Amino acid sequence: MSQALDTSAGGSGDLRRRLEEAEETIRALKAGEADAVLVASPDREQVFTLEAVDKPYWLMVGHMPDPAAILTSDGVLLSCNRPFADLLGEDSVTALAGQPLGRFVGAESRQVLESLLRSGMARETEAQIEIERADGGRGTAHLGVRALREGAFGFCLLAVDLTAQQHYQELQRTQAALREADRKKDAFMATLAHELRQPLAPMRNAVEILRSAGNDTDERSWATGVLDRQLRIMTRLLEDLLDVSRLSRHNVELRLETIELRHVLESALETSRPFIEAGKLALTHALDGPIRVHADPVRLAQVFANLLNNAARYTEEGGSIRMTAEQVGDQVVVSIKDDGIGIEPEMLPSIFEIYSQANPELARSQGGLGIGLSLAKGLVELHGGTIEARSEGAGRGSEFIVRLPIAS
């Protein structure tokens, strides 16, 4: 730099300019904005380029199957592979060198890109970027950015479109969900087989007794009673199954009429009474009246009967169930609350999913397929209402709340 300090050439202004140039040279080299230097010796000038140093990176990027590019720290494209040019809708890979990537980024993503490049210098970072392609189209890239050391002259960035990887991860998640659904379905099938087989033994016994009873009327009426009850259980089971299947195919037709809600709730109570009495449960109810709803009385009674049966099933002997209905605004809120085994908090969100059962072992021992709640939800929603489950945890009872629009 002795030449730069030679003030005889043009005074202090010239010296200042040369010092500034020297500073600017150092800055550009440090920032990686220059990739060649010229070294002058008395007999000749030699040019040294950094090409050899970063060539392996370039080759690597060129052969990557995913879109990839090398950028300067402020986002100017230095080199990219064919897939990256395709991503930007640009025919020529070489024409992209020297262009700021920001040019191909939608206005809404510019700031995202800036902070991506900034944090990419410090650590590997990813972000979703909206692409405005050179051919006018639009697209999305999930860019992962990381710093590459570029020889002794500073850093540049490697940007890779991870969209394909993301799709792969999404597929993996879907696959896991499908496997879980499949597992639940298997468990459901096992329960279903068990439930369908259970009435067969008493029915077979009853048939045997009928065969051998002769004229003994007591024996005969006991046996027909068994057949009657077990047939009813099987019928209900199969009806529920068919309804769930119809609901999932949106194949349920409601016969709507404007009715008194009290009649629906009483009909549900009638259906569930045998279960409630079998469990020696205390049932209380308080119904605001008169409340009229526009509903299918049979289907709606099925909803509340299912909820009552569910409460009875999961409440220990001697427990209590309370059913209330009150008008709140333009809705009627029906609550069915028990002091039974309750629901674990982590089970609450999936309680209405088909095949889901708070405790499959318990449910099997007490009968039921765990489809009653799923059915209730589907039917309530068909009526334009909502259903909600609440529980403060295991052993602390459950409450099911149905909200339905009141008929005007």
Partner 1 sequence: MKVNPDPEPQEEGPLRLVEVAAAETVDPAMWDLRLYVAGKTAKSVAAFENLSRICEEHLAGKYKIEVVDLLVHPQLAQGDQIVAIPTLVRKLPEPIRKVIGDLSNAERTLVGLQLRPARSGAEDAS
- Quote the least distance from Cβ 16 to partner 1, whole Å: 12
| Adjacent-strand bridge partners of 332 | 327, 404
Nearer to partner 1, 153 or 188 (CB): 153
| Adjacent-strand bridge partners of 69 | 80, 159
Burial letters for 65-85: b for 16+ Cβ neighbours within 10 Å, e otherwise?
eebbbbbbbebbbbbbbebbb
- Quote the least distance from Cβ 48 to partner 1, whole Å: 5
Q: Coil, strand, or helix at residue 157?
A: strand
Peptide bond before residue 42 is cis, with ω within 30 degrees of 0: no
Nearer to partner 1, 98 or 395 (CB): 98
**Which residues of this chain interact with partner 1, rule CB under 8 A?**
3, 21, 24-25, 27-29, 31-38, 40, 44-54, 70, 72-79, 94-95, 97-100
Alpha helices, H only, 319-396 = 360-366, 372-382
Check: CB of residue 144 under 8 Å from CB of residue 102.
Answer: no
With 0-12 / 13-18 / 19 or more C-beta atoms within 10 angstroms meaning exposed / middle / buried, residue 209 is: middle
Helix axis angle, 217-248 relative to 200-213, nearest 10°? 150
Nearer to partner 1, 100 or 202 (CB): 100
Burial letters for 111-120: b for 16+ Cβ neighbours within 10 Å, e otherwise?
ebbeebbeeb
- Quote the least distance from Cβ 175 to partner 1, whole Å: 42
- Quote the least distance from Cβ 67 to partner 1, whole Å: 18
Nearer to partner 1, 118 or 285 (CB): 118
- Quote the least distance from Cβ 107 to partner 1, whole Å: 18
Query: What are the structure tokens assigned to 256, written together?
Result: 């709507």
Q: Coil, strand, or helix at residue 211?
A: helix
- Quote the least distance from Cβ 87 to partner 1, whole Å: 19
- Quote the least distance from Cβ 123 to partner 1, whole Å: 19
- Quote the least distance from Cβ 4 to partner 1, whole Å: 8
Q: Coil, strand, or helix at residue 270?
A: helix
Nearer to partner 1, 99 or 324 (CB): 99
Nearer to partner 1, 33 or 260 (CB): 33
Nearer to partner 1, 48 or 168 (CB): 48
With 0-12 / 13-18 / 19 or more C-beta atoms within 10 angstroms meaning exposed / middle / buried, residue 347 is: middle
Nearer to partner 1, 44 or 250 (CB): 44
